[in-house]
Structure 1
Amino acid sequence: MLTLLSAIIFILAPVALAQQSAWGQCSGDSYTQTGFDPSGAIPSLANPIGNPPFPGFTATGGANWVGFGTTTFNKSKIFTYNYAYGGATIDANLVAPYTPTVISLTQQVDQFLTTVANKPPSTPWTSANSLFSVFIGINDIGNSYYLSGDRAAFSDTLLNAEFALVEKLVPRNFLFVNVPPIDRSPLVRTLPDNHARLAEKTVIQGFNSKLAAKIAAFKANHTGVETYTWDSSATFTRILDSPTTYGFRDATTFGDGTGIFWGNNYHPSSQAHQIFAQDVATVLQSTIW
């Protein structure tokens, strides 16, 4: 199984093994990032995420959902090309990231199109054994929900930009991830203005509803395309509503250690990501991933 949080690309490559192989391409933000450098070592049997050494550079240390999906919760030997970058937005011209050096989803897709999209001998993927995952929107909303103007209309603008990029992609299998309830993160919960938290919650819910409609339309308009959706919002809500059921002490503590859902005040821990990866595997249970 391969998936991404925010925007990321992964590919699974077939090799001469008893176990079936596949490619995964991921795009996204810090919820998905592993620190992959497209100009560095490519995914291999020794390191299925290519570079840096597994589990990579993740937001809170330890494997994230992409790492667990690549190495543990899957049905194939998976090689993952993860273009996700911390702080990424869909298009920096629409929502500026926290710093200009952040690689947006637009740039991540360009990285893919100018490298392994050309199917070099080192990465002989096919449409049948490759999966493209997109997990994006956290920073687009977090950096704009409080601005004036019609936020619902702006969500349409963001999603139109995202799916214009998706249209450029070669793989025929897509995994989409919606935006989790970031309004329940320790960072947002401590905002002095509760109206801000509620405003972000409203924008997230509207964005996710529109994303579901865009996914359905994309599939309907493309014969042969398969789409899968991991409802990260539902997963987060299920765990945060009953944290002890899933091995966590509560829904608000953050930091290092076992039994803590939030690895820092905005990002889930590796322990939480393990559950995310299991949920993604369930979404992909009918596939080779």
Structure 2
Amino acid sequence: MKLFVHHCFILLLLLVCNWKITKGVVELPQGVSVPAVIVFGDSIMDTGNNNNKMGTLARCNFPPYGKDFKGGIPTGRFGNGKVPSDFVVEELGIKEFLPAYLDPNLQASDLITGVCFASGGSGYDPLTSKLVSAISLMDQIDLFKEYIGKLQVLVGEERTNFIIANSIYLVVVGSNDISNTYFLSHARQVQYDIPAYTDLMLSSALNFFKEIYQLGARRIGVFSAPPIGCVPFQRTLLGGIVRKCADKYNEASVLFNSKLSKQLASLNKSLPGSRTVYLDVYNPLLDLIVNYQNYGYKVGDRGCCGTGEVEAAVLCNSLAPPCADVSDYVFWDSFHPSESVYRKLVGPILHKYMYLFF
């Protein structure tokens, strides 16, 4: 009897919400459309924008990056295959890959269903992008404005307005601020302690959300900062012989995430029609890293590339051959998770939060 009631409750919940999940693809509520996905952020989401960015070492358009991508091609994605940008459009049934806006081979038809503006090395703090010559969030906004103009020429103003208002926007930033700008380079430590620096990050973040809102964005998903202290690079530097997670990095992420989630709730009240959603990736990713064996992995504290301790971007190259089987590893290099980890994370996150956009 209890099992019958449980099943009835689930059925009733699905009927009331008019929400279905079929074959791993999120199907939207009846009458709702998501014509495109637009992504801003850093290397987690970058699908190749940094390839032709002069002066930056945050580039990976060379082997062994992309070894498991379609055709084994290094595309500028910071991983062995697809990145979250790709899995989001796949889960929503929009297209197979989300192209980089600055890809010289970008087709006009690609604009209609969305593009990626993310740049490896970017951050909320304007200084973060400057340190590695990445495309800053403000520059990503300029590219977004350019994109809107191209879309108007392509499909007309009315259709453009529909696409801009109904698309889902994803923002993935924060890791580089905490890891590189604050702790590694010490560039902000003279001016700020961690509470003050996370306030700076938050202020920049809110300004960014308001800017894209003014340009027409309404459905904005903001990913939390991840447990950056548990990436292999930080464990190599600070984890000692047992390679523990660097607690102070994680504590900074937790503090920022707490502030961010509270402010996003207030932001929706001040911006009419806004559906800005906080997406927690910190806890599911931390669980996967700490309990990696429960997810079928053999190595959780090193990356697949080279020794897996410090190799990332230019240090992960053909002279630093990858492991024999990346499916055994949580991380591809010393900063970025493997394709299979992204696949495990993206689907459940979309299924958990998607209804909040409507």
Under a length normalisation based on structure 1, what TM-score does the superposition of the two structures give?
A: 0.78
Equivalent pair of 2:129/2:135 in contact (CA under 8 Å): no
How many Å separate the matches in 2 of 1:87 and 1:168? 21
Of 154-163 and 25-34, deviating more is: 154-163
The equivalences for 1:76-225 within 5 A come to 76=94, 79-93=113-127, 95=128, 97-99=130-132, 101-116=133-148, 119-122=151-154, 124-125=159-160, 126=162, 127-142=164-179, 143-145=181-183, 147-148=189-190, 149-169=192-212, 170-192=216-238, 197-225=246-274
How many Å separate the matches in 1 of 2:174 and 2:144? 19
Residue correspondences, number: 254
> Which residue does the alignment assign to 1:14?
none
> Which residue does the alignment assign to 1:276?
345
* Seq. identity, %: 21
Kindly provide the CA deviation profile for residues 113-157 of structure 1, in whole angstroms up to 9, marking residues without a partner as x: 233267414364425421111111111111214524322112111
The equivalences for 1:57-76 within 5 A come to 57-71=76-90, 73-76=91-94
How many Å separate the matches in 2 of 1:91 and 1:114? 23
The amino acid that maps onto 1:137 is G
The amino acid that maps onto 2:170 is S
Equivalent pair of 1:183/1:197 in contact (CA under 8 Å): yes
Q: Measured at CA, do residues 287 and 213 of structure 1 come closer, stay the same or move farther in structure 2, by a change above 3 Å?
A: closer
Q: Secondary structure at the match of 2:327?
A: coil
The equivalences for 1:9-88 within 5 A come to 22-36=35-49, 56-71=75-90, 73-76=91-94, 79-88=113-122
Unaligned runs of 5+ in 2: 1-32, 53-71, 99-112, 305-322
State the 4+ residue runs in structure 1 displaced beyond 3 angstroms: 53-56, 75-78, 95-98, 192-196
Equivalent pair of 1:64/1:270 in contact (CA under 8 Å): yes
Q: Secondary structure at the match of 1:114?
A: helix
Aligned CA RMSD, in angstroms, stands at 3.0
Displacement of 1:245 in angstroms is 2.2
> Which residue does the alignment assign to 1:49?
none
Q: Measured at CA, do residues 228 and 192 of structure 1 come closer, stay the same or move farther in structure 2, by a change above 3 Å?
A: closer
Which structure is higher in helix share?
2
Q: Which has the higher contact order (CA 8 A, sep 6+)?
A: 1
Q: Does 1:238 align with 2:272?
A: no
Displacement of 1:98 in angstroms is 3.8
Q: Measured at CA, do residues 102 and 128 of structure 1 come closer, stay the same or move farther in structure 2, by a change above 3 Å?
A: closer
Q: Measured at CA, do residues 285 and 208 of structure 1 come closer, stay the same or move farther in structure 2, by a change above 3 Å?
A: closer
How many Å separate the matches in 2 of 1:193 and 1:264? 17
Kindly provide the CA deviation profile for residues 100-121 of structure 1, in whole angstroms up to 9, marking residues without a partner as x: x311112111211233267414
Displacement of 1:283 in angstroms is 3.3
How many Å separate the matches in 2 of 1:266 and 1:118? 34
Kindly provide the CA deviation profile for residues 195-229 of structure 1, in whole angstroms up to 9, marking residues without a partner as x: 99332222111111111112111112122111222
The amino acid that maps onto 2:182 is S
Equivalent pair of 2:275/2:356 in contact (CA under 8 Å): no
How many Å separate the matches in 1 of 2:217 and 2:42? 20
The amino acid that maps onto 2:121 is G
How many Å separate the matches in 2 of 1:128 and 1:55? 33
Q: Secondary structure at the match of 1:286?
A: helix
1:265 maps to which of 334, 341, 347: 334
